[in-house]
Structure 1
Amino acid sequence: MSKQLSPPTPPEPAHARLARSSALEHVMTVVREDVRRGRYAPGARVVEAELQRNLGVSRGTVREALARLAAEGLLELHRFRGATVRSLSAQEVADLLDMREVLEGLVARKAALRVARGIDAQAVAHAQDALDAALAAGRPAQAYLQANARYHEALLAVAGSPGLSAQVDHLSTAFFRIAMAADLRRESFPSSNSDHRAITAAVLSGDAASAELLMRAHIRHTAFLLQAAAPYVDEKS
């Protein structure tokens, strides 16, 4: 008697694949943003059940998202503890800050060049206003750092380079988790914002060379402050 074969499994409908992919990207985006905003400090657990409940997605989707974020280097997966935000070694921090100086300088240059060609850069002016307001109101450090993140995002949008945007976005997630964890003193913020105002003026006037030089100097100064704080460094690395 011949053995009957099971019917082939029907392919997953296209709309189901799209929905699963969208849910996966949503979970990854939420975790990245929570790390950027300081909700998850280096070493903190990222709880699967909490994400599943808050985002209304399946356990499998959450696990796949966390696995992908671990592959990106944002998280570490542990057999019994689940996922945690990965700490960075001193060398990783130094390399990251060097790369950010170059890329953010290029962003400022491209933004200024596009302004010189007539591109509207009011988003940068508005982001600068938000930084000024956060500083003047004496808000917590986290609020100023979030306004800082929005400022750099506005510059990136005006620069109008999707390829550059992808590179900067990846670095920014790592950078802002360092900044949120570091014990930056509020006394450093006026100097930082003075840098921003000079960069903004150069960008809005279309002065590409000055915008790049000012941004690179600003990132170097920020790097010095972050490396001096250094609570985020994994000393075992």
Structure 2
Amino acid sequence: MLEQPCPASDPHKGEAIIRSERVRRPRGSVVNVVNRIRADIFEGRMTPGHRLVESELTSALNVSRSTIREALNRLVAEGLVQIEPNRGAWVRRTSRQAMRQMFAVRELLEGQAAREMAEKAPGSPQAIARLRHIRAIEAALDLKADALAFMAANKEFHTAVLELSGNEVLQHLVPQLQFPQFRAAFFCFFSPRISEQSMVDHLAIIDAAIEGDADRAQDAMRAHVRGTANLVLTMGDEFFAP
């Protein structure tokens, strides 16, 4: 269970990362632009409150202003971006209270997903193989050297739990709660101590599922989500809406 406080957060860290990367130029479709901006938000390159300037996005992504505008409107509908007349667009921030409420709901739902995964996994060689593959990848990560690799593995783990649960309602609801929380937790995972504890949690949940222990899988997942909540909710006010 994650209990260590999140290290001091730097809201400009994501901007430094994107400046250090080679600019990727997707094809000029709205879908590709939405996917690129969504990924940049999820992976911390665009932090909560980050301004989304049309001219900069047009140049960086090599697309038209109309494509950028439509992409931003779609991201508004997803709850990831906020636009106000005469003020522009920026990555949406969530209030601390709303984040706390989302974590409380996510703990219940994702705990149920872990339970259902553990109930089904022993009867599915494909599920067991997938869980063992995820376990091997996480166990081999160098957490001190590559926080981004852990974030990718973290996303794959939580996606697998939902998919292997076989519960389509959970598969629809949980990602809506996960996305703003994963985005906020990005900065916490730059601490190897925190990412290591998260990985330990993941491995415990996977082991419980492989063994078919639904109670243990559910309890471990709920503790894991609570631990992540404790980290995120200690972050600075700059990451939250008033």
Alignment TM-score > 0.5, same fold = yes
Secondary structure of the 2:46 match is coil
- The match for 1:17 is none
CA gap 1:26/1:107 in 2 versus in 1, 3 angstroms: farther
Aligned to 1:131: 138
Number of residue pairs the alignment of both structures matches:
214
Tell me if 1:164 matches 2:170: yes
Aligned to 1:141: 147
Distance 1:193 1:203 in 2: 15
- Structure number with greater CO (CA < 8 Å, separation at least 6) is 2
Give the AA of the match of 2:75: L
Change (3 A) 1:184 1:226: farther
Is the 2:112–2:218 Cα contact (8 Å) retained in structure 1?
yes
**Map of 1:1-237 to 2, 5 A cutoff?**
23-49=29-55, 51-52=57-58, 58-118=64-124, 120-121=126-127, 122-134=129-141, 136=142, 138-182=144-188, 185-234=191-240, 237=242
Shift of 1:86: 1.2
Query: How far, CA to CA, are the matches of 1:52 and 1:124 in structure 2?
Result: 40
Task: Please say if residues 208 and 217 of structure 2, whose CA atoms lie closer than 8 Å, have aligned partners that are also in contact.
Answer: yes
Amino acid at match of 2:205: I
Structure 2: gaps of 5 or more residues: 1-28
Q: Secondary structure at the match of 1:228?
A: coil
User: 35-44 or 124-133, which moves further after superposition?
Assistant: 124-133
**Aligned residue type for 1:214:** A
Q: Which residue of 1 aligns with 2:9?
A: none
CA distance in 2, matches of 1:30, 1:165: 22
Give CA-to-partner distance per residue, 1:91-149, whole Å, 9 cap, x none: 01101211221221122112112213325222222222222222x45224333222211
Task: Specify every segment of 5 or more residues in structure 1 that has no aligned partner in the other structure, as ranges.
Answer: 1-22
Kindly state the Cα deviation for residue 54 of structure 1 after the two structures are TM-superposed. 5.8
- SS of corresponding position for 2:90: strand
Secondary structure of the structure 2 residue equivalent to 1:43: coil
After TM superposition, give the deviation of residue 71 of structure 1 in Å: 3.3
For the residues of structure 2 that align with 1:130 and 1:232, how far apart are their CA atoms? 34
CA distance in structure 1 between the partners assigned to 2:177 and 2:38 by the alignment: 11
Once the two structures are overlaid, the 10-residue window that deviates more, 103-112 or 196-205, is 103-112
Distance 1:232 1:128, change over 3 A: farther
Contact between 1:130 and 1:147, CA under 8 Å: does it hold in 2? yes
Go from structure 1 to structure 2 and tell me whether the alpha carbon gap of 1:76 and 1:110 turns closer, same or farther (over 3 Å shift): same
Distance 1:175 1:165 in 2: 16
Maintained 8 Å contact 2:117/2:161: yes
* Matched residue type, 2:233: Q
Aligned with 2:83: secondary structure? strand
CA distance in 2, matches of 1:25, 1:105: 32
